Chains A and B, each alone.
Chain A
Amino acid sequence: MVCIRPATIDDLLQMQRCNLLCLPENYQLKYYFYHILSWPQLLHVAEDYNGKIVGYVLAKMEEEAADPVHGHITSLAVARTHRKMGIAAKLMSATHKAMEEVFGAEYVSLHVRVSNKGAIHLYTETLGYQIQDVEAKYYANGEDAYEMRKYFNAAAAAAAKRRGKGRAAAVSDSGAGSGSKAEQQPAAAAEAESSKAVAVSS
């Protein structure tokens, strides 16, 4: 039995464990904290009968004012032992729904290794993503990434087409690739500043 459900904060350590078991792109726990404390509805897990997390999706909203509201898949993994059961598709669908319903996202984007045939098949054939762009040497080992997008409704897709896709290349996701570190402490930025400040009277 495998349970597909929204993640809670108690799942994060296990999500990190699952990530380290399965994928070469890893993140510190704080980055998982950052996701669930910013967009709690977007994280989903697949839980085994004994409470073990065997799959997860870690996702976020891009909040740059320049782009239309959209979500981004930071990381998706399913343990090898639990493949071929459609878990990844179910996790992704749940997250897509939350992006659209809770945050009003127009589309969702992700990065994938150009060599990852299995994942590309899932994204394009099962989930309806389309290749938006290629980002050269996105991954630490020098491999290129496809930037993929899925529009949640036809109108948004058409509107995006009219706007043209020139801006796509500007999207830089430091989360899923080699640059993950740069984004580790976004929460820290503003606050650390304010609490470092000295209370000067003059």
Chain B
Amino acid sequence: MAQPTQPLPNKESGLFRQVVKFYESKQYKKAIKAADQILKKFPEHGETLAMKGLTFNYMEKKEEAYELVRKGLRADLKSHVCWHVYGLLYRSDNNYLEAIKCYTNALRFDKDNVQILRDLAMLQIQMRDIGGFVDTRYRLLQLRANNRNNWISFAIGHHLGGNHELCVQILSAFESTLDEVPPSEAYEHSELLAYKAQVLQEGGQPEAALTLLEQQQDKLRDKLGVMHSKAQLLLQLGRPEAAEALFRKLLVLNPDDYRVHEGLQLCLGIQPPKDGQTWQQQQQAAAAGGSSSEAARSSSSSSVWSPHSGKKRRLLQAYSEEQRGKLVALYGALGQQYPKSMACQRIPLDFLVGSDFAAAADSYVRRYLLRGIPSLFSDLKPLYADSAKAAALQQLFEGYAAALRSSGSLPGLLQPAANSSSNGPLRQQQPANGSSSSGSGEDNPLTWVLHYLAQHYDRLGDAESALRLNDEALQLAPEVIELLLARARILKHTGDMVGAAAAADAARKADTADRYTNSMAVNALFAAGQVEAAEQTAMLFTRDGDQLNNLYDMQHMWYEVRCGDAHLAAGALGKALKQYTAVAKHFADFVEDQFDFHSYCVRKMTLRSYIGLLRLEDRLQHHPFYMRAAVGAVRCYLALQDAPAAAAAATAADEASLAALSPEERKKEKLRRKKEEKRREKEAEAAAAAAATAAAEAAKQRSSSGGGAADKQKKKSSTRPPDPDPDGSKLAAAADPLAEATKYVVGLVQAAPQHLESQLAAAEVYGRKGRALLEAAAVKRARDIAGPEHPDVHRAIVRFAQRAAAAEWKQRCAKVFTRSNYFGGEQSSDTKQLLEQLADRIGAVKL
């Protein structure tokens, strides 16, 4: 232990210990009082100054805090306490890089200080300094080898560093120190074993992973997860029979898990479809170095730059006859075994074709129609990738409609082809055919047949038929909300946003207690540009009517993105920026959120999930919400850059309206505004005070365990000042909008270079900055991602060409591209090619 460089006499030394104690028990006033007692006698005592500063930090006196801590440090540069305190101060402001520097300095003067080492390790893992984390954890393990967490954290460090073998060795060494695991720790031990198996698998040792899971069977509590892992491992090891047995067991537990079905199909040698991956899967594939261009291409279809350019769809798979035969046999049996499983009944529609498909679809959909299950169309929508199936479904449902209209009952079941092996087993028990034709409304199958057909024609782009059928259904059942929601969607697809909003709002009014309908109405109102109505509608479901704070507090990101888009479309750039930056802030908070879990998960031993958390955090900026908000913010800043006058105009208009008033009226108006502001401040204060009282009460109640949490909460609610920029006008008044846009673009290009939106945004920003090379690179990448025929890419190319055609640019470009080694040999010829193409295009678009 390091000796203090400024030793205090006994009395003061005792006081200093009290300062620390008071600080740690949050008795800040007492801590300050004790510190002042020391400082009276020893005004230059560094550690006391630092502690006083740190205490001020928690009394909302930030400036004084930094001042005092720095003063303390100057007085005692060789004190590890001063450096540690300085680090804690930076840490509390989330300035982790500076905090790491401080901790490192502190350790120079007290290298074995466990507390500081632990704090340092936490920051290192948060900042993903894996090398540093491993080193720090190694020292901690050396110092405290009897502590379980030190072993586990050291192992995790090696896992993250890609040193799987060492990680497993450390875990094994730790296990060998364990005696009998008490029942109270059985879960933790089970999670530890499962984690070890995961590390083995990721380290390329599936055999060892499997052995571990088999040998420790009785200690593993997560039976379902383990069974799934084992099945995957068996597949990986080329033992499909054993894997199949496990997948079948898993089906017994949950026959609606498509991952199990895919596994089962893999056992039969049938690859699952690759399309329709979720964004995480794409990112994971991209991160794993998979065919990134392919992943990027499929993701580009859900372009953010032009928001309504379509969604990713799971494409139907082409099966060989042999595969189809196997599937028919498999699902013939499964369909009978699991009559209540949605998946077992639905999957055959994916692989059956022709009359077999028609017959299977016929028997499948009746259950939905007779029970009035609204999701039937969404359930079958993926089948529309195959136009033959779409046609078959049309025929089927038109047949239903005709029969129901004329006779009031559904026609008899279709028969599959006579020679088909699917005859029999695939047919399920039929529900009774004759639901009453007399009933109208929700119970009438005709309502649901018409509802299906309306969505069917909408999917095929025949809005007229869609609307006609939707009308007919609404006449039968005007009270069914799903019909109104479908109407809103159809109208939206025709481009009638106002009509869509009206239909969605009618749906909302039909069930005001249902937030889902409310959400749909809000969404449609935003799309129709009825921003105020949308905001008012959303407010119906937020607590206390305090809409803005509540939506923000609850990280209501789809709302914020839509709201931002609507404001942007209306040219309200400040308000749009307000929403987009809120989303960006949420994502910053999500990164922050992981902090507490670094040690929590090691204690809880939920290591598989913890590793998942770290990996998720590392690709968070790929998330569609973040992309949309970041790109939206870029567009706002670009608009501000292009027309700063427009932003100024708003202020000017305001001033003009004031100027138009008579002097007295002007005074009145100004007074009124001032009053308004004061009132708002007062209200905010009162609210904050009330929240503080409530939180304090809550803290009292849970003082036993969660005191810290409650206190943190209290701090959060009580100190929130009124929003200084409620309309985002300060954001819109950014001195250098292009610089603000660049910040987002740099982040986007770095985090998600394979996303079309990132590159398009970069091209726009760099183009305006006159950075020809960077713009060219972005345009080129955009072209690589989505192809030159993509409309947004085309636009970017044309804009680049326009700028390149300007005289000054010509010179600049020439300079750049004659320096042939700028891009590197191969790429530069590619760039030349791009320029040649550009020249062609300039001719084609007749600038």
Measured CA separation A97–B223 after assembly (Å) = 11
> Which of the 9-residue segments B33-41, B456-464, B700-708, B775-783 touches chain A?
B700-708
Measured CA separation A167–B321 after assembly (Å) = 63
In the complex with contacts A98-B224, A183-B706, A5-B254 CB distance below 8 A: yes
In the complex with contacts A21-B516, A24-B515, A191-B81 CB distance below 8 A: no
Cβ contact within 8 Å between A201 and B2: yes
Residue of A22, A33, A140 most packed against chain B (CB within 10 A): A33
Measured CA separation A38–B590 after assembly (Å) = 17
Measured CA separation A24–B84 after assembly (Å) = 44
- Name the one of B16, B516, B555 contacting A28, with C-beta atoms under 8 angstroms: B555
In the complex with contacts A182-B709, A198-B88, A202-B16, A187-B597 CB distance below 8 A: yes
Measured CA separation A190–B598 after assembly (Å) = 12
Q: Which of B642-673 contact A (CB under 8 A)?
A: none
CB distance from B12 to the nearest CB of A (A): 11
Asked whether A156 is an interface residue with its Cβ less than 8 Å from the other chain, the reply is no
A75-115 near B? 1/0 per residue, CB < 8 Å:
00001111111100010001001100111000000000000
Cβ contact within 8 Å between A41 and B222: yes
Cβ contact within 8 Å between A9 and B609: yes
In the complex with contacts A10-B612, A199-B106, A188-B709 CB distance below 8 A: yes
- Name the one of A51, A140, A198 contacting B20, with C-beta atoms under 8 angstroms: A198
Cβ contact within 8 Å between B597 and A84: no
Cβ contact within 8 Å between B85 and A198: yes
Please give, as numbers and ranges, the residues of chain B lying within 8 Å of A3 by CB-CB distance: 256-259, 343
B375-413 near A? 1/0 per residue, CB < 8 Å:
100110110000000000000000000000000000000
Cβ contact within 8 Å between B80 and A201: yes
Q: What is the number of residues of chain A that contact chain B, defined by CB distance less than 8 Å?
A: 74
Please give, as numbers and ranges, the residues of chain A lying within 8 Å of B598 by CB-CB distance: 191
Cβ contact within 8 Å between B593 and A29: yes
CB distance from B315 to the nearest CB of A (A): 11
Please give, as numbers and ranges, the residues of chain B lying within 8 Å of A103 by CB-CB distance: 187, 221
Cβ contact within 8 Å between A102 and B708: no
Cβ contact within 8 Å between A199 and B84: yes
Measured CA separation A185–B708 after assembly (Å) = 9
Cβ contact within 8 Å between A201 and B110: yes
> Which of the 9-residue segments A12-20, A119-127, A128-136, A146-154 touches chain B?
A12-20
Cβ contact within 8 Å between B278 and A51: yes
Q: Which of A25-65 contact B (CB under 8 A)?
A: 26-30, 33, 36-41, 47-51
In the complex with contacts A21-B515, A189-B706, A9-B613 CB distance below 8 A: yes
- Name the one of A28, A83, A90, A198 contacting B256, with C-beta atoms under 8 angstroms: A90
What's the interface size class on B, roughly? 35 or more
Please give, as numbers and ranges, the residues of chain A lying within 8 Å of B187 by CB-CB distance: 102-103
Cβ contact within 8 Å between A140 and B543: yes
Measured CA separation A200–B13 after assembly (Å) = 11
CB distance from B150 to the nearest CB of A (A): 14
Asked whether B712 is an interface residue with its Cβ less than 8 Å from the other chain, the reply is yes
- Name the one of A16, A24, A48, A97 contacting B378, with C-beta atoms under 8 angstroms: A48
Main secondary structure of the interface of B (DSSP, over half): helix
A163-202 near B? 1/0 per residue, CB < 8 Å:
0000000000000001101111111111111111111111
Cβ contact within 8 Å between A4 and B256: yes
Which residue of A has the minimal Cβ distance to B543? A140
Which residue of A has the minimal Cβ distance to B109? A201
Residue of B223, B254, B346, B702 most packed against chain A (CB within 10 A): B254
- Name the one of A9, A97, A181, A198 contacting B253, with C-beta atoms under 8 angstroms: A97
Cβ contact within 8 Å between A192 and B81: no
CB distance from B654 to the nearest CB of A (A): 35
Residue of A6, A47, A187 most packed against chain B (CB within 10 A): A187
Asked whether B681 is an interface residue with its Cβ less than 8 Å from the other chain, the reply is no
Cβ contact within 8 Å between A1 and B516: no
Measured CA separation A190–B589 after assembly (Å) = 20
- Name the one of B81, B253, B516, B541 contacting A79, with C-beta atoms under 8 angstroms: B516
Which residue of A has the minimal Cβ distance to B613? A9
- Name the one of B110, B257, B347 contacting A4, with C-beta atoms under 8 angstroms: B257
CB distance from B329 to the nearest CB of A (A): 21
Asked whether B713 is an interface residue with its Cβ less than 8 Å from the other chain, the reply is yes
Which residue of A has the minimal Cβ distance to B514? A80
Cβ contact within 8 Å between B118 and A1: no
B325-351 near A? 1/0 per residue, CB < 8 Å:
000000000000000101100110000
Cβ contact within 8 Å between B593 and A33: yes
List 11 A–B pairs whose Cβ atoms lie within 8 Å, in order of A's numbering.
A17-B557, A23-B515, A33-B594, A37-B610, A85-B342, A140-B543, A182-B695, A185-B596, A189-B712, A195-B91, A200-B20
List the 10 closest pairs (A to B, CB-CB), nearest first. A51-B278, A199-B115, A3-B258, A189-B708, A9-B612, A80-B516, A26-B554, A10-B280, A4-B256, A189-B709
Given contacts A49-B378, A198-B23, A199-B116, 17 further A-B contacts (CB under 8 A): A1-B258, A1-B379, A2-B379, A9-B613, A10-B278, A13-B625, A21-B516, A37-B604, A37-B609, A38-B604, A49-B381, A94-B254, A182-B698, A191-B596, A195-B91, A199-B114, A202-B16
